Chains A and B, each alone.
Chain A
Amino acid sequence: METLDLIVNIAASTLRLATPLILAAMAGLLSLQVGQVNIGLEGMMLAGSFAVVAFGFWLGSTWMGVLAAILVGVALAALFAFVVTRLKANLIVSGLALNLLASGGTAYLLEILFNTSGTFSPTALQSLPNLSLPVLSDLPLVGRLLFNHSPLVYVSWLAIPLTALFLYRTIPGIHIQAIGQNEEAARSVGIPVRRRQYLALMIGGALCGLAGAHLAVGDLALFREDMTAGRGFIALAAVYFAAGRPRLSALACLLFGLFEALQFRLQLASSIPPQFFQMLPYVMVVITLAVISARKEWRKGWS
């Protein structure tokens, strides 16, 4: 019974920890599909974390904070889109700049606005209450595992099929794929390329805002400097791992979430150092990319 308990606990925390990854991965996937590798996921998430705490605190409502996080994510994404599509700045460099802007900007604002550095956890701010789905949450084990979570966990589950539906079935989604694979072709049939790029990136910004919000108020209710701690890049790793496909990306996020869960649980109990689990997602994506490329090279030879 105790082992079963442990397993359920680990599984449930996997789902919680995977939530920001899934949301950010859907964002990364949309920008990848529209042909714009987005290094700035991390920064957008961090800004979302800050926004949810700051606005949640000011407005006295965590949900209003979540809304603010979404808006901040969208605004940063719009800035990013403007810089890379309109001003034609280099993607990677702009993404790095966005991350620096977010980490410097949130730390700066933390001091200026709240006169504190490091961590900010106002007592007036509540974390999002767990949403226990009626009936379902009473099921043994499954109820605790699946249906007793912070609301944004369910949002992340919804985000997966919705992203797939959007990308593969809606007209803007088809256009986004077309732009990513052959921008010239998309342009030649009069698709408003730039507007679609904005759309893909800004939806991504909203998702990143949500991801950041979950990090800050999904469990506890606090903002810590650089609290995203590379999760944006783990999400990006998941997207590359899954070659840009929504469901597979989400699965990869779950896997990476599991690593994170294990690292907390096993730290004391086992001899596996926690850094091992921290490194695993990055190592896996490098190996995966190497294997995919090796197979491709094998098939086509140099040309």
Chain B
Amino acid sequence: MRALFTGALPRTVLTVLLALVMGGVIMQVSGKDALNAYQVLFNSAFGNERALANTLLAATPLIFTGLATLIAFRAGIFNVGVEGSLYVGAFTAAWVGFTFVDLPGVVLIALAFAAGGLVGGLWGLIPGYLKARLRVDEIVTTIMLNYVAIRFTDYLVTGPFFVPGMANAMSAEVTPQAQLPRLVERSQLNLSLVVALVVFLVVAFMLRRTTLGYEVKTIGSNPVFARWIGMPVSRTIMLVMSISGLIGGLAGAGQALGVNYRFVSGFSRGLGFDGIVIALLGRGSPVGVLLSALFLGALRNGASTMEMFTRIPRDLIDIVVALVIFFTAVEIGFNWLRRRRPTPDAVPPPGSAAEPEKEGVRGNA
């Protein structure tokens, strides 16, 4: 694994630069001044304290979803379902926030985060259970369950939790003491970033130093061996999917309590999918995830200002991100992620029967 990441940073930077250059070419072809656009983008992402705060604000949910995807990746699970966990987590947190209005702020915020994480975790457990116990391919189930979560939460705010007089489908506002305190003035940057950083530390420690991290690594590299050596493989897969969903749920809670102050139907528009980009770009390391989330946050934050000043549609950034994914996917191809068979049978781990030992005994000793 480690060998895979040597020289990762320069290569990541290169893929990102390449995508930015291609984005620039697209802008030039569309008759826009790309250099100026990037300048504006950079300034509005990092130019002053407020810009930086907004970049961090945009990065906050991405840190969560990136870590959520990463931990599953490490166990060899391709969890595309963080988006779904995010939705159910966000609704749950908002519900706590507008229901238990008599609780003091600290308790209420803690409770809302806990509830959002819990429900997100349970949501992740569904495909986790199906994969661990029945070997149902998690890619398909998580993709499908995302849509279920999005539609179901939409139902909740248009049906049972409908608030009359609202133009869009959204829940009631959470009570003021449940709204996350802001960290700086003139930006929505809020406590949720601190929660994200705590989660980062916990995940990094968990992966490096704990029995669970060790089991995750073993299962991710060779699930058959893990089972034969006596590791609780099914249990770990379910646990990992729950943790992944839990972190996704926290991301949703953070957005609901810290940015929107309510649950807004369809609010995420792909924060969970961005997590895949970030885990990929971060090459399987928590620190890489942190940096990638910051990068993507800067792009997303800078894009809206760029649109305002240069009249270049912010959708350009989606194109750049898509290119980053293409280039990164092409360039790394995590070997265990590679070439999944459509059949639900488990992927043969690297160095298994599918890839017999090279003949000849000389070479190395």
B58 CB to nearest chain A CB (Å)? 16
Given contacts A275-B152, A290-B130, contact A89 B313 (CB under 8 A): no
A107 contacts B318, CB within 8 Å?
A: yes
Tell me which of B3-11, B241-249, B337-345 binds A. B337-345
Choose among B136, B143, B339, B342 the residue that contacts A293 (Cβ–Cβ < 8 A).
Answer: B136
Residue-by-residue, is B116-143 near A (CB-CB < 8 Å gives 1, otherwise 0)? 0000000000100010001111011101
A229 CB to nearest chain B CB (Å)? 10
**Is A50 in contact with chain B by the CB < 8 A criterion?**
no
B228 CB to nearest chain A CB (Å)? 11
A100 contacts B322, CB within 8 Å?
A: yes
B83 CB to nearest chain A CB (Å)? 11
Closest to B129 in A: A290
**Is B91 in contact with chain A by the CB < 8 A criterion?**
no
Looking at B143, B155, B334, B337, the one whose CB has the most chain A CB atoms below 10 A away is B143
Residues in B with CB closer than 8 Å to A244 are 342
B contact residues, range: 35 or more
A293 to B339, CA, bound (A): 21
B313 contacts A240, CB within 8 Å?
A: no
Residues in A with CB closer than 8 Å to B49 are none
B144 contacts A93, CB within 8 Å?
A: no
Choose among A37, A90, A285 the residue that contacts B329 (Cβ–Cβ < 8 A).
Answer: A90
A90 contacts B130, CB within 8 Å?
A: no
B145 contacts A282, CB within 8 Å?
A: yes
A104 to B23, CA, bound (A): 12
Choose among A108, A236, A279, A290 the residue that contacts B151 (Cβ–Cβ < 8 A).
Answer: A279
**Is A51 in contact with chain B by the CB < 8 A criterion?**
no
Looking at A37, A83, A97, the one whose CB has the most chain B CB atoms below 10 A away is A97
B333 contacts A90, CB within 8 Å?
A: yes
A121 to B108, CA, bound (A): 48
**Is A20 in contact with chain B by the CB < 8 A criterion?**
no
Residues in A with CB closer than 8 Å to B151 are 275, 278-279, 282
Residues in A with CB closer than 8 Å to B141 are 286, 289
Choose among A92, A236, A273 the residue that contacts B159 (Cβ–Cβ < 8 A).
Answer: A273
A89 contacts B140, CB within 8 Å?
A: no
A90 to B280, CA, bound (A): 11
Residues in B with CB closer than 8 Å to A103 are 315, 318
**Is A117 in contact with chain B by the CB < 8 A criterion?**
yes
Residue-by-residue, is A234-247 near B (CB-CB < 8 Å gives 1, otherwise 0)? 00110010001000
A108 contacts B315, CB within 8 Å?
A: yes
Residue-by-residue, is B22-40 near A (CB-CB < 8 Å gives 1, otherwise 0)? 0000100011000000000
**Is B191 in contact with chain A by the CB < 8 A criterion?**
no
**Is A159 in contact with chain B by the CB < 8 A criterion?**
no
**Binding site secondary structure of chain A:** helix
A237 contacts B144, CB within 8 Å?
A: yes
A103 to B313, CA, bound (A): 13
**Is B67 in contact with chain A by the CB < 8 A criterion?**
no
Residues in A with CB closer than 8 Å to B135 are 293, 296-297
Residues in B with CB closer than 8 Å to A71 are none
Choose among B26, B30, B326 the residue that contacts A89 (Cβ–Cβ < 8 A).
Answer: B326
A96 to B141, CA, bound (A): 15
A35 to B339, CA, bound (A): 9
B148 contacts A100, CB within 8 Å?
A: no
Which residues of chain A from 89 to 148 have any CB-CB distance to chain B below 8 Å in the complex?
A: 89-94, 96-98, 100-101, 103-105, 107-108, 110-112, 117
**Is B298 in contact with chain A by the CB < 8 A criterion?**
no
**Is A55 in contact with chain B by the CB < 8 A criterion?**
no
A293 to B345, CA, bound (A): 10
Closest to A275 in B: B155
Residue-by-residue, is B262-279 near A (CB-CB < 8 Å gives 1, otherwise 0)? 000000001001001000
A230 contacts B333, CB within 8 Å?
A: no
Choose among A89, A91, A100, A237 the residue that contacts B340 (Cβ–Cβ < 8 A).
Answer: A91
Choose among B26, B130, B316, B330 the residue that contacts A87 (Cβ–Cβ < 8 A).
Answer: B330
B313 contacts A105, CB within 8 Å?
A: no
A83 contacts B329, CB within 8 Å?
A: yes
A89 to B313, CA, bound (A): 29
B144 contacts A285, CB within 8 Å?
A: yes
Can you show 27 pairs from A to B with CB atoms below 8 A apart?
A: A32-B342, A37-B139, A89-B326, A89-B329, A90-B337, A92-B337, A93-B276, A94-B329, A96-B276, A97-B322, A100-B273, A100-B319, A100-B325, A101-B322, A104-B315, A104-B322, A108-B30, A110-B313, A112-B313, A244-B342, A273-B155, A279-B147, A286-B126, A289-B130, A289-B136, A289-B344, A296-B344
Query: Contact residues of A with B, CB < 8 Å?
Result: 32, 35-37, 39, 83, 87-94, 96-98, 100-101, 103-105, 107-108, 110-112, 117, 180, 230, 233, 236-237, 240, 244, 273, 275-276, 278-279, 282-283, 285-286, 289-290, 293-294, 296-297
Task: Given contact pairs A94-B329, A275-B151, enumerate 14 new A-B contacts (beta carbons under 8 Å).
Answer: A90-B339, A90-B340, A91-B339, A100-B319, A100-B325, A101-B318, A101-B322, A275-B154, A275-B158, A279-B152, A283-B148, A286-B126, A289-B140, A296-B135
